[in-house]
Structures are given as structure tokens and as C-alpha cells.
Structure 1
């Protein structure tokens, strides 16, 4: 006779498993972030990434009166500035939170509070979506275990840590919600799925592969099953095809409605969303005239061919990705040096063992979801989860940023597997069957992978050739950048990675920052900081640079066989009559440029 289910309340003086899991989840949530990290963000605007600093700069400009449709950063390659491809839909709630707090705390403190607690509010929303979605598909105990796993999944926690005001956390929310709507099925959930897909595309195109996969999955289900699969497809197409144009219009100046962009929601991508709506409307109108699989596949193929052909004819450059005009110099010496663009092989080659806390858990979750979709219960749910996990894993092996969104699915799989490890099993071999499942679930807890990562770092420190992240972070900190603010305002030539922090913490303008729409500035920084003295002099003159700043711990790539002049200058090995050293505290070296 099978063991009775675990009680849901206190019985015979013992606390049931569900109560213990609630307590554990509460403890994990309460200790998710160190108080020191929260306070540093509040007090000194400590942000984890350059994109977070640039987001706060955009929000400041919006609050200072810059137009809703005017997303040009005028202190970046001044005076013309650089137009941003980021969404005002993310700027707006952050700005609103600052406006609400400023009368109570002052504007500076309001900025810090918002930077600290906006990501935590989003994590609360992520936890709510995760809990409800897992509960509805796999049960309440699995949902609680998924919450616990989420607090231990580094791919999730780094995107919701204090100061993380970039848009990747919003993307995780949208795509996870989209997946749960697909699992639920039906017209209403299909509409919600389409709306979330539209939000994802409006915020940024990182979610585009997952939106495309969702559309293919729903269209494929309709091809195979016919009328029963039509409501979620029709709902998805309706939500995406109507909301995406509305959000585009909301965040794009009317004068730019006809301008195509490969890196942001624009007419080429709207062509696909509206075409999908027309296709779904045609499928619904055809009714019984498409009663065979062959007829449905034919319609789907024709519609897909027309949409893709139109896209290719209209914007052939976008077929090569979001950076069609990037010169090889910038691609090699900037883009391919950024961690989020690095492949797994590069992390291994450079001894960056911290990658172990990201890749194995996604790989295990992907394999588990595929196996459960093949032979386990809840096959529809698992097929949707596998649909998102596998492409994310493959993209992540090629470029690390591919893991950003799909890391949000790992706690879902881990929670369900751990729940099954706790489930009562009858018979003498119960333990033998339980332990492999428990080990699989534990393998998807990324905090446990810190152990081999730290061992590798300790036992083979000489294998690490990547720059020390702590030294780079020191150059980006408030303590390092803030002294520059005391200097009279001017244009600064600094390492590319320093650009957003300089904009955030000083009144100066900058030549370069890590954004692909600013090719002239990226080229100038690569050539000026990585080249000869003549190269540096040319850049200083052409961009009317007033200050040169260097981070000795993060020199530029050498473009010649000899060490770059700017690197030797920072080490004190050479000097220039055009550069007057400035005595500033901290790790940065700075010079005033003599005209």
C-alpha cells in the first residue's frame, strides 16, 4: 500500500514538508542580497554593469526634461550625440519611482533607492510568475522548491541584484510568462502570450529567437492537430500583431516610423508580426476547408515564405545580425572582447572558471526537459520548456548572453525534479530510485557549482589569462570616477568600458562607450588607446579631447607589435608634451590635454 501523502498542516507535533519549504523559501529570499550591497547601491549608485549606468543616465535625462521620443545621449560624441536603441518603456517606471521618492528623500537618495529596489521588485514579480506557473502545471510543493532553486541560480540572481536596472530582467519575466501561457493553452492565454511577446520585442530584440520559436511551435501544433490547436495560435497572433505596433508607436517618434533598424523593434520586425496576424486570421476564416494536415502545412509554408522573402528583400542587411555595419577593427578589438559576446570555448581557454555556475545547470535542465517531453507526464508542459531551453543553451555556447533568458527556466526544472525526489516511493528499492533524482535536482542548483569553480581557481591559478574583474570594477567604482567630476567639464577619452560611468558620475562628455551605434567613438578609442603616439595625438585633436583617462588594470589591445603608447604612458614609461598629469586619488590615471 503506498505511503500516505504528506500532511499540509501541523500533525502529531510535527511540521509538514510544505511549511518547512515555505520557511526555507522565505529565508532564501531574505538573504538573497547582502545588506552591504544594497546600501552601496543606495549610497554610491553601485551598479553591476555598464548598461546599468547608461540606463540611469537615460533616466536622468528624461527627468531633466529631455523628450520622450528623444533618446539621443548628447554627451556621447558631442555635440551631435548618439541615438540609443533602448526602450523608454523601461526608463518610464524607473523614472516614475524616482519622482515618487524624491520629495521624501531628495533626488540623489531617490536614485539610489530606486536602483537598489527596482530589481528586487522585479524579482518579486519573477517569483510570483514562477510559483504560479509551476504550481498550476506541477503542484504546490514543486513551486516552492522552484522558488528556493531560483534564489540559488546565479543566472537569475545576477539579473535581479541591486543596481541591475538594465532590461534583461524584464526580458526574463516576459519570456517565462510567455512559456507558461503556452503551456496553459486556449484563446485567452494565447492573447496574453502574444502581449508578452510584444513587450519583449519592444524592450529589446534579445527575446526575438524565443518569440519566433513560440510562433513556430503554435503554428506547428495547428498544422498537426487542426481546429483544437487554433485558439492559442489565433490568440498569440492577435496579441502580438496588435500590441507590437502599438508599443512601437508609443516609444518611437512619428518621423521615424518608416526607418528600419536591425537592432530594435521597427518596420521590418512589424512586417513579421502583422504577417503572422494575417496568417492566423486566414487560418481561422478557412475553417473546415483546411481539414487535412497537408493543406495546413501548405498554407503555413506559403505564409512563412512570403514573410521571410519580404523581410529579406526589404532589409537584407539584417539577415547578418544586429551589427551589419561594424568594421573588423571594432569587432575584433571591442565586440569580441566583451564577456557577454564570448563563447564557452573562450571562457575555458582563458581560465574563467566562474562559467561553471552558468553552463552546467542550463545543460542539465535542457536534457531533463527533453527527456520528460519524450516519455514523462505533462508532455505539453515539458515540450514548451525544452523548446526554450535548448536554443538558449546552443546560443549560450556561441555567445554567453544566450543564457540570460533561459537561466530563468532552470529553477522550474530543478523544482519539479527535487519535488519528485521527495515524493513517497514504496518498496525496498525506494532509496535507490530516489537518490539519482535527488542528485539530478542538486546538479541544477548553480550555487553548488561554486565548489569546483573555486577549486579550479585555487589549484590552477596560472591558467587564468582573463583580466581581473575586481581590478576592472575598481576603475568603474564611484570612488574612482567621482574625482573626475571636480575638473572643469570637457570631453574625455577613456577606455570604452569606462564611458557610461563617466557619464553617470561626472558632467563630462565622452568619446567612447560600449554601444554598437557609436562606431566613430569605438574606432577612435581602439586606435587612440591601442596605437602609437601619433594615433593618440590624432584622436585627441579630431575629437577635441580635454582629458585622457586610463585604467592601468584594463589597457587597450595593442594594435602594433610594440606596447601601445597609452599603455606605456599609464605605466610611467613614456611622457608626452601634450599631456599634463593630474593628481587624482584612486586607481585611474588622468592627464589634461594641451591644445
Structure 2
């Protein structure tokens, strides 16, 4: 038994343990995938697939316009080719389905290695290390982003954030350079990561403030150079008409920050804490002023100029982008529980002296960044993926502390209860599941509870439209991308904010009168009008007015200028052909 225990404790610290955990997770996910289906999960996954297909079919690398949306102009997109690269490579090597299965699972591998690196750097005991590698499925926002067919950009962002932290808590210049490179890739993929990248820069500043190694210039220099190379290399000449991607103003601010950070150590009074704090504060003020001057309106929320119609009927209904007070009880509790695990885990580790002897600063840096990510998730729910990944080490410490105590209880029933409590209280899954029944009493995904009465229990197979001659389709946002993915049709609009006019017109048609809808249909030259009565966005459109266009379509009594083109049996899908 002693020998086995010793071997187990040695094995859990090796890279082979990471591979074993990843392989077990991958096998289970692939085994259950036939029950879940072999199609992309949501509209963003469909769009990512369409983007890679278009590239492989000959569309220019720098051109990510979706020309099958609102043809012939197409839809301008802000997405990065960085996320397309692994998908395209595996599609060429193994085919489309294999790529859709493997790419999300492969993103999990560097996440697990980063978790291992964090826990080894903080010298976790073997049981805590094992828990940290195994408990990821108990964090409700994490597993779905690494599941087969989930190919949007959220997993790469979360992985890059986690790798940045693993590098941040190390002490070498090369780790700072690598951290800057990962941070650059992160903000090139999505500008939403910029606040947390700023936090990383601030934490490198904290290291300098407390007299640690001068790593801030190396991080900022790498960030400035890599962000410039990746931005121009994956997008070509930067389009300054939009605020949703890295702009020359961002890049110049990064460069200025790197230059100032390199000069600071040579300024007077840098041998004193007060002098270092004054220099860092002045640097922050200068960079903020520079960013404001260079970026203008783009220095604030890129969604600030969103059309009110889109804000009310689209953007304000996307749960993943909303703050905690707009979330269902189960999601809200999951976010709060995650922050609680970070705080309690750090406090317990501090009280037990686990992070003394040179590990106090790395643990504090991890704690502060995890706390920042948790706070960010209260404003933008999807940032909870990053927060929950960063909470795993703290949860692992708590579980490793309480689980042995629970297992040491002699009586079977108390031992079982204590064991379940040790697992349930140190992860957010069970608390979130406990309050999930309350979700039925509040809005879901922006749909008021009374709108749920309109929905039906069966879904819609948009692939049936492939039997119709190709044409321009008007369909609500949630189903439009699947139509593109499964057929040769084009669509009027999809939910991508740069293209506000066709999006607004689609919403005006669906929520307005039949006569207003006809005018829009004629203006765009629509061939087919498609609606899925069981879709949540359709249910929401129907609440606008009892006699609006969406209600007329779902009722099966369309206006005279529409004729049924396809009516699948046992489905709420309605397909109408526009009479000329």
C-alpha cells in the first residue's frame, strides 16, 4: 500500500498524468457525442464553420466577410483567422467532422497543462494536484466550451488567459515575453480580453512595485510587437471604421507603455517603494490619456452606438453578454460561488501557511487575477469561463483539505454525507443545480416567461430547405446560420453587429405588421420566408404584438403574398415562398 501511494503521488506530478486525464475526458465526450449529434452547437459555431469553409474554398485569408449573408455586399465580420487555423488544418487532414470533434478537445490540453504548471509552481500537495486536474467537469461554464462541435472563439480565449496566468507567476524574462505573446493572441481574437490583459500588466507592475524583478517592460514589449504582428498578419491593413478589433491606437498605446516601462527603472528614487509607485501611477495616467486621444469614441464600449432596436430585441437578449442581475438564478449563483471559492481557497491556503517560503507572491498574483476575472464575469457572464478555470486551483486546495477529513469519519452515513458536502461545497455545480428549478420563474435568454407558452416541444430541421431551389431567405437570427450551413441558400441577415441595417430590417419585419413586413421583403428581393415556431427568439418576437408578422407565420395562416413551400411533418418549421 505504501508503495502504491508513493507511485500515485509521483505520477500525479508528471505530464503523463495530464495526458491521462485529457484522454479519459476525450474518450467519454466522443463516446456520448452520438447522443448529442454531429452538428455545431449554436449560431457562432455554424458561422465559424462557414468562415473556414469559405477560406478553404478560395476566399482570401484576410477577407472574413460572409458573402452569403445579405448578398452581394455580404456581412462584415470582426473575427480573427487565428481561431480558423487549427480548424482548417484538421479539416484538410482528417475531414470536417473530425475537425469539429477534435479541435475543442485539443484546446483542453494546454488548459490542463497550464493548470498543472500553476499548481506545481505553488507546490500543491499530491491530493490537491490530482483534484485540480480532475474537477474541471464540476465547473458548469467550462466543460461545454471544450466539447466536440463547440468551435467558436470562447475556448481559445479562456485557454490563453489561463496560460498567461501560468506564465505571470513565474520569475523569468522569457516567461514575461511568452505571456505578452499569449496576451496579444488573446486580444487579437477578441477585444473583450483587453481589460484582463490590462490587469496582467498591472500585476507585473505590482511585482516591480514590491521590488521583484523588472519584468513589466518585457511583457509590454512582447505584447506590443506580437499584437502588431498578429493584427496585421491576420487582418491585413487595419479597418479603422469599427471599434471592435485592435486598432492602430491600441498598438501605439502598447508601444508607448513598453517604452515608458523600460525607462522607469532608470528614473530617480526607483530604489524606494514610494518612487516606484509614483512612476507606475504616472505611467498609467499617461497611457490612459494617450489611448483616449488616439482611440476617441473607440476607447469606450464598442457597442455604445448600437441601434436601439437591436439593443432591445437582440443584444439585450443574449444572456452570455449580460451582467449578473440579468441572469437566471442558477447562473448568477454559479458566478458568485466561483468568486467565493477563489476568496475562501486563498484565505484557507494563507491560514495554513501553504504559500510561504517564496510562494506568497505567485499565489497572491493568481488570487488577484482570478478575483479580477470573477468581477468581470459579474458584468459579462461569458467571462465566467475564465473565472472558473482560475478558480479550479483554489477549489482543489479546499477539496484536498476537507475530503480526507470526510473520509476519516467512521460511520457510513455521516461519511457519505460529509464526502458529498466536501465535493459539493468546493465546486459550483451542485449549488447551481440546486437552484435551477427557480430558473423557470424568471426570464430565460431574454424571453419573458409568458412567451414560453408559444413554444413547442419539437425542434426544426433546417436541412429540409436543401430540397428547394437556392434563394434568398428571410429567417430569424437563431436559425439563419444553420440554414447556411446545411443548404445552398443565402440569408438576409444574421446576428453580427457591424451590419446593423439588415439586422434592424429583419427585426422590424418580424415584430411589425404584415404590411410592414411585405415592404421589407420586396425591398430585399426575398425568395423564402422561414420561421421555427419552437425557437426562443421567435417566441420573443411574438410578444411584440398579437397580429404581427411572426404570429401570422407561426399560425399557419400567412398573408396572400406567401405560399407554403415546405411543411415538414411533426415540426414547427414553416417555409413560405414569396409570390412575385
Fold shared, TM-score > 0.5 on shorter chain: yes
| Deviation of 1:185 (Å) | 2.4
- Tell me which residue corresponds to 1:445: 427
- Tell me which residue corresponds to 1:553: 534
Q: Where does structure 1 lack aligned partners over 5 or more consecutive residues?
A: 1-5, 102-109
Q: For 1:212 and 1:441, locate their aligned partners in 2 and report how far apart those are by CA, in whole Å.
A: 34
- Farther off after superposition, 382-391 or 460-469: 460-469
Post-superposition CA distance 1:381-428 (Å, at most 9, x none)? 332233233233333233322312212112222112222335799x99
CA contact (8 A) 2:220 2:258 kept: yes
1:234 equivalent to 2:190? Answer no
Q: For 1:559 and 1:32, locate their aligned partners in 2 and report how far apart those are by CA, in whole Å.
A: 41
RMSD over aligned CA atoms reads 3.3
1:303–1:346 CA distance, 2 compared to 1 (3 A)? closer
CA contact (8 A) 1:74 1:81 kept: yes
- Tell me which residue corresponds to 1:412: 393
- State which of 39, 44, 52 in structure 1 corresponds to 2:45: 52
Q: For 1:125 and 1:141, locate their aligned partners in 2 and report how far apart those are by CA, in whole Å.
A: 21
CA contact (8 A) 1:312 1:319 kept: yes
- Tell me which residue corresponds to 1:584: 567
1:133 equivalent to 2:127? Answer no
* Alignment of structure 1 residues 530-545 onto 2, 5 Å: 530-545=511-526
- State which of 545, 548, 554 in structure 2 corresponds to 1:564: 548
- Tell me which residue corresponds to 1:215: 201
* Alignment of structure 1 residues 145-544 onto 2, 5 Å: 145-222=131-208, 224-226=209-211, 228-230=212-214, 232-253=215-236, 256-257=237-238, 259=240, 261-284=242-265, 286=266, 290-348=270-328, 353-355=329-331, 358-369=334-345, 371=347, 377-378=354-355, 379-421=360-402, 439=421, 442-449=424-431, 451-453=433-435, 456=438, 465=448, 475=459, 480-544=461-525
**Secondary structure, in 3 states, of the residue corresponding to 1:9?**
helix
1:180–1:402 CA distance, 2 compared to 1 (3 A)? same
1:95 equivalent to 2:88? Answer yes
| Deviation of 1:582 (Å) | 1.9
Tell me the matched-pair count: 554
CA contact (8 A) 1:420 1:437 kept: no
CA contact (8 A) 1:59 1:94 kept: yes
Q: Where does structure 2 lack aligned partners over 5 or more consecutive residues?
A: none
Post-superposition CA distance 1:192-228 (Å, at most 9, x none)? 1111111111111222111010111211332x324x3
- Farther off after superposition, 156-165 or 138-147: 138-147
- Tell me which residue corresponds to 2:4: 9
1:83 equivalent to 2:80? Answer no
**Secondary structure, in 3 states, of the residue corresponding to 1:185?**
coil
- Farther off after superposition, 488-497 or 549-558: 549-558
1:114 equivalent to 2:114? Answer no
Q: For 2:218 and 2:22, locate their aligned partners in 1 and report how far apart those are by CA, in whole Å.
A: 36
**Secondary structure, in 3 states, of the residue corresponding to 1:155?**
coil
CA contact (8 A) 2:466 2:486 kept: yes
| Deviation of 1:589 (Å) | 0.7
1:561–1:500 CA distance, 2 compared to 1 (3 A)? closer
**Secondary structure, in 3 states, of the residue corresponding to 2:529?**
strand
Post-superposition CA distance 1:173-203 (Å, at most 9, x none)? 1111111111112312111111111111111
CA contact (8 A) 1:531 1:559 kept: no
CA contact (8 A) 1:138 1:416 kept: no
Q: For 1:48 and 1:461, locate their aligned partners in 2 and report how far apart those are by CA, in whole Å.
A: 26
1:362–1:424 CA distance, 2 compared to 1 (3 A)? closer
Post-superposition CA distance 1:492-517 (Å, at most 9, x none)? 11111112212211111112212111
Q: For 1:115 and 1:437, locate their aligned partners in 2 and report how far apart those are by CA, in whole Å.
A: 37
Q: For 1:440 and 1:312, locate their aligned partners in 2 and report how far apart those are by CA, in whole Å.
A: 48
| Deviation of 1:57 (Å) | 0.2
1:567–1:535 CA distance, 2 compared to 1 (3 A)? same
Q: For 2:239 and 2:506, locate their aligned partners in 1 and report how far apart those are by CA, in whole Å.
A: 33
CA contact (8 A) 2:454 2:533 kept: no
TM-score when normalising by structure 2: 0.86
**Secondary structure, in 3 states, of the residue corresponding to 1:69?**
coil
Q: For 2:190 and 2:8, locate their aligned partners in 1 and report how far apart those are by CA, in whole Å.
A: 44
- Tell me which residue corresponds to 1:106: none
1:414–1:571 CA distance, 2 compared to 1 (3 A)? same
CA contact (8 A) 2:185 2:227 kept: yes
1:270–1:487 CA distance, 2 compared to 1 (3 A)? same
CA contact (8 A) 2:260 2:283 kept: yes
CA contact (8 A) 1:120 1:162 kept: yes
